[in-house]
Amino acid sequence: MDENSGQLDFNFSVDDLLEFPRDLGEEGLYQFHSEQRQAIQALEEKFGIALNKRVCLRLCGWSEEFEGKLMLDTLLPPRSRKEGLRLRLGKITFDHTDIEFCRTLD
């Protein structure tokens, strides 16, 4: 090493620089998203709704229609269909049974 250069002398081979470590966290994240999609699809089929999609809907007792992305209000699914599924459209929260009319906009 040249003492005047002020820089350390490292000898890396080109092959070592091209080998990146495998990120197991990325696989875990992919698995999480895959399981999340499957759970959302199961809830959509069970309750007949379009989750995580832009919708136009009317709630029982309301004359106006609301537009936005229909989402779960909580991540915990109901134990039975009788309990109802809590949903959110913007700042409005309601049960899936409160939906009078719904159509997807996507």
* Domain-wise residue ranges, the chain: 14-104
Band the pLDDT of 7: cuts 50, 70, 90: low
CATH class of 14-104: mainly beta
CA angle 72, 78, 80 (to 5 degrees): 140
Q: Tens digits of per-residue pLDDT, 36-75?
A: 899 899 989 988 899 999 999 999 999 999 999 999 998 8
E strand segments, 19-61: 53-59
Band the pLDDT of 13: cuts 50, 70, 90: low
**Nearest CA-CA partner of 48 in 106, 100, 96, 105:** 96
What is the rounded CA–CA span in Å between residue 93 and residue 73?
A: 7
